[in-house]
Amino acid sequence: MRLIPWLFQLGAASTASATISGAQTCDDRPVIAFVGADVLTMSDSILRRAQHVLVRRGRIDVVGATSIPADACRIDARNKVLLPGLVDMHVHTSAREMPLFLANGVTLIREMNGSPRHLAMRDSIATGTLLGPKLLVASTLLTGQKWPVRYRLIEDVNAAKAAAREMKNAGYDYLKIYDGLSRDQYDAFVELGRTLGISLDGHIPQDVGLRRVLEAGQALQHMDKIAVAIGGHPPDVSKLDEAAKLFHGRSAWVTPTLASLRVLDRAGTAEYAARFQNPEIAYVDSSSFGWWRSFVRSGTRQAAASPYYQFQTALLKVLRTSGARFLLGTDAANPMMVAGFSVHEEMQVLVEDGSLSRYEVLLAATRNAAQFLGDTLGGQVRVGARADLILVDGNPLEDLAPLKRPIGVMIGGRWLGRAQLDAMLQAARIR
């Protein structure tokens, strides 16, 4: 895919004057060309230098072109890195926050406590009436006990079967398994999920246990939920060997949401209180802001990681070596997890505390999600893939920081330059 140097130089010289600025758009052009990009395809960890990437009708049409159509909208990507858009596979969100995701390079999100409002949002995004990342919607929480948030109470096996059918018929993408379900109720969801063709994702009900959840092929959310299911609370470190045996060979899907758990582990410290000065707090609604403030405590508790959090990070390393497959998710809008912005914190914490390499984290944020969804082309810069792309000033394999402020974002073939992204952010400010 590497270009012959003199051909690239000729193409760059002939097109440089026709490239657009960050304030312009390509909405009226049939082809969009990223000129001379260093491409991180995510098919592997190789950075391919000086590539032309052409996008046509919302799909990647050519990678490595030596010529560019005369009617193409040219984006000067020389010495910049082009890679797939990022995902957040665990959010709790609203239409107001869609610009926050896009401005942070997030082109796919998954709502994990869905409602009819979220289904309508998904449809509006799909039809282009709402500008936002592609949206997946899990069902309302399916639980055996009452909660202070939106939920569907499951009181017996018949109620479980009825709920599964209702959620499938309503158009939800997943059944969100939550706490308090009995083994019989859980087994009913597993059976109906297979019959109806709707996957299970979520928590590990105590009466069901981790072994059964893994046997059922359910995807798992939150390292703390897995930690309690394995080691209890406080955790029994000797149980890590048991976790390795349980996960070995299963290729289980896990969304760690580790950054949100780290934040909660620091509640009551000066480190937590100082986060209210972060710039992204400007986009947090008053209700969430007040809830997050309730975790500020007086006193001088040290910010050292608790044994409980340390067990979670040790367990994540065990899962990695046992063959678990990771998806990136943040659990926004839990404390300090601001829509879009929290993706970058999750990526960094997975490197620092979870000992994943930058490439492994990028996989969790791109290609792994596509594989989870059964999309063999997605999450890659590859011919035929949906054109969800980000252009950044730096190599994320060496430093994740450039991902925080993309030069531009492409969503389904529509290019949003930095000036447009900044205008969207400005309009979304609350304080």
Q: Are 201 and 227 in contact (CB under 8 A)?
A: no
pLDDT value, residue 98? 98
pLDDT value, residue 65? 76
Domain contains 11: yes
Tokens standing for 41?
A: 């395809």
Domain contains 215: no
* Domains held by the chain: number: 2
Domain contains 38: yes
Neighbours of 76 (CB within 10 A): 20
Quick one: 129 and 97 in the same domain?
yes
Quick one: 131 and 271 in the same domain?
yes
Tokens standing for 249?
A: 């060979």
- If DSSP codes are grouped into helix, strand and coil, which group holds residue 391? strand
Answer with the one of 327, 344, 372 that is the final residue of a domain: 372
Q: pLDDT digits over 179-190, tens only?
A: 999 999 999 999
Domain contains 173: no
pLDDT at 306 over 70: yes
Among 132, 141, 145, 68, CA closest to 100:
132
Quick one: 117 and 51 in the same domain?
no
- Asked whether the whole model's pTM tops 0.85, one would answer yes
Neighbours of 403 (CB within 10 A): 23
pLDDT value, residue 297? 80
State the pairing for strand pair 141-143/151-153: parallel
Task: Return the CATH number at 57.
Answer: 2.30.40.10
User: 419 CB contacts (<8 Å, ≥6 apart)?
Assistant: 21, 22, 23
Q: pLDDT digits over 8-56, tens only?
A: 222 333 333 245 544 457 888 899 999 999 999 999 999 999 999 999 9
Domain contains 310: yes
Opening angle at CA 376, ends 198 and 202, nearest 5: 35
Among 168, 164, 160, CA closest to 144:
160
Domain contains 128: yes
User: 263 CB contacts (<8 Å, ≥6 apart)?
Assistant: 272, 275, 334, 335, 336, 337
Q: Which domain holds residue 423?
A: 5-84+381-428
Quick one: 293 and 424 in the same domain?
no
Quick one: 254 and 327 in the same domain?
yes
What are the E-state strand segments in 101-228? 106-111, 134-137, 141-143, 151-153, 174-177, 199-202, 219-221
Mean pLDDT of 388-399: 98
Domain contains 73: yes
Quick one: 28 and 97 in the same domain?
no
Quick one: 412 and 279 in the same domain?
no
pLDDT at 130 over 80: yes
Q: 299: pLDDT confidence band, cut at 50, 70 and 90?
A: low
Among 422, 404, 223, CA closest to 327:
223
State the Cα–Cα distance between residues 83 and 218, nearest whole angstrom: 29
pLDDT at 225 over 80: yes
Whole-number average pLDDT of the chain: 93
pLDDT at 1 over 70: no
Residue with tokens 């690239």: 8
pLDDT at 379 over 60: yes
pLDDT at 199 over 90: yes
282-313 as b/e, with b when 16 or more CB fall inside 10 Å? ebbeeebeeebeebeeeeeeeeeeeebbebbb
Quick one: 73 and 106 in the same domain?
no
Q: Which of 19-28, 45-54, 327-336, 352-361 has the lowest mean pLDDT?
A: 19-28
Cα-Cα end-to-end distance for the chain: 47
| Residue 34 burial (C-beta neighbours within 10 Å; 0-12, 13-18, 19+) | buried
State the Cα–Cα distance between residues 203 and 225, nearest whole angstrom: 7
Neighbours of 162 (CB within 10 A): 15
- If DSSP codes are grouped into helix, strand and coil, which group holds residue 102? helix
Task: Return the CATH number at 273.
Answer: 3.20.20
Q: How far is CA 159 from CA 184, 192, 198, in A?
A: 11, 12, 17
Residue type at 391 in one-letter notation: L
Answer with the one of 372, 394, 420 that is the final residue of a domain: 372
pLDDT value, residue 28? 84
Mean pLDDT of 300-313: 87
pLDDT value, residue 15? 34
For the chain, state the CA radius of gyration: 22
Quick one: 260 and 403 in the same domain?
no
State the Cα–Cα distance between residues 290 and 390, nearest whole angstrom: 34
Quick one: 78 and 96 in the same domain?
no
Quick one: 413 and 316 in the same domain?
no
Quick one: 239 and 334 in the same domain?
yes
